[in-house]
Amino acid sequence: RSPRLEDLRAIAVVLPYIEDDAISKTLVDRIEAQLGTKLFLGTNAESVRLQMLLERVKYKYLRDETELSLLELFMKIEDVVDPSVRAACFSWMLYSLQQLPNPSEFEKKASLVSQATASLMTAIDSLLISSADHYQAAKSAIYALARADTKLAFNLISRFNTEERRDRGYVTFIREIVTSKIYVTQPGVLIKAVNCIEDEKTRSIEIVKLMHAIAIHCERKEVIDVNLGVIGLWRNIRIANVKFQAIAAAYKIFAICYSNRDKAEELLLEMKGIWSSIMVDWVRTDVGYYFVGDIAKIDKPLAVIWLDHISTEEKNRVSMSRDFTLVLNQILNLLVRCYGSLAS
């Protein structure tokens, strides 16, 4: 297939991090040559993201020209008719402006961040007035605002017209915060977003997912410190089997990031209690074995202890089941004999 904007943008993501200006300039020129073709005409979120990546690189060695290009891009976005596209474009522009070298200096000179913010708010107002499905219309903007301005993101999502759409908006917001690892520097934002989800089932499932994602970040050494408030989100869950999955991920995060063995033992004790409270036998066994397989990557002795515990519990349950079946058969035989005696 022909190359798409997403392909060029995926390539351009690395450009701002290339230290050799000559190499980055060559790559920028090649991408801009591709953008000159008819395949890439138009203004949308992908084109703005790509253009801002290129401008971030050019800002290092062509500052005056880049400033004019940014102002020109701002005017192009202003001309976009669709409010959802315009909001998404301004959101990504706002995020990218904050990534420029010394953004405060550029803001004093051009006031582009404040102008983009004002235009974004106008676009959001138009978007919410003109669309029936607020979530679908604003979804693209949420991704950018999660990185650019979390206050604006909360403002936008809180104005969605139904509870279900607000919850979907917060879920999208949370996943972007976790993916971009914003929870490391702004843990309160993640905690607030989780608490804003009104549907209990949706909130519980999302907590499990984000805890597992954060555990993977820690395991890969992508994150070395996680806020204790974030780790404690598992306490917001009431359903035992779901809560166990969340606390299991929380224990893994804590074990990797902290050396406090007393606190780790407290978590393990709570985890055993939650596991024992799972009423359905096969569910309790399944989540237990999943924890064994997961924790074995970082703590094999603990995995062996839990494996023995689960295996023993399962064997006892099977033995009890056989005894119960034997007793039930004896009762049935007795009933048959009694019925036969009465009939004769």
What would the pLDDT profile of 85-129 be if each residue is shown by its tens digit?
A: 899 999 999 988 888 888 888 888 888 888 989 998 999 899 889
pLDDT for 232 equals 94
pLDDT in tens, 141-155: 899 899 889 999 999
**Alpha-helical runs (H) found in the chain:** 5-12, 21-35, 45-58, 63-78, 83-97, 103-110, 112-130, 134-148, 150-158, 163-179, 187-196, 200-219, 228-231, 240-257, 261-276, 281-295, 300-343
pLDDT tier at 7, thresholds 50, 70, 90: confident
Helix (H) or strand (E) holding 80: none
Report the range of poorest mean pLDDT among 71-80, 102-111, 157-166. Answer: 102-111
Instruction: Taking the CA atoms of 132, 135, 141 and 145 in sequence, report the sign of the dihedral they define.
Output: positive
Write out the two tokens for 237. 């869950």
Model confidence at 173: pLDDT above 90: yes
Neighbours of 108 (CB within 10 A): 9
Averaged confidence pLDDT in the chain: 86
pLDDT in tens, 218-237: 999 999 889 999 999 999 99
Among the listed residues 235, 240, 245, 238, the one whose alpha carbon sits nearest the alpha carbon of residue 281? 240
Q: Are 157 and 170 in contact (CB under 8 A)?
A: yes
Q: CA distances (Å), 114 to each of 43, 74, 111, 237, in order?
A: 21, 12, 6, 40
Model confidence at 38: pLDDT above 60: no
Q: Are 54 and 12 in contact (CB under 8 A)?
A: yes
Classify residue 323 by burial, with Cβ atoms within 10 Å: 0-12, 13-18, 19+: exposed
Model confidence at 197: pLDDT above 70: yes
pLDDT tier at 326, thresholds 50, 70, 90: low
HSE, side-chain direction, 13 A CA sphere, residue 223: 23
pLDDT for 106 equals 82
pLDDT tier at 18, thresholds 50, 70, 90: confident
Distance separating the N- and C-terminal Cα atoms of the chain: 85
pLDDT in tens, 285-318: 899 999 999 898 888 999 999 999 888 887 776 5
Contacts by residues 137-143 (CB-CB < 8 Å, ≥ 24 positions apart) = 137/83, 137/84, 138/84, 138/87, 138/169, 139/169, 139/172, 140/45, 140/84, 140/85, 140/87, 140/88, 140/91, 141/84, 141/87, 141/88, 141/91, 142/169, 142/172, 142/173, 142/176, 143/91, 143/172, 143/176
What gap in Å lies between CA 322 and CA 335, rounded to an integer? 20
Measure CA 294 to chain center: 20
**For the residues 12-37, what does the mean pLDDT come to?**
82
pTM: 0.81
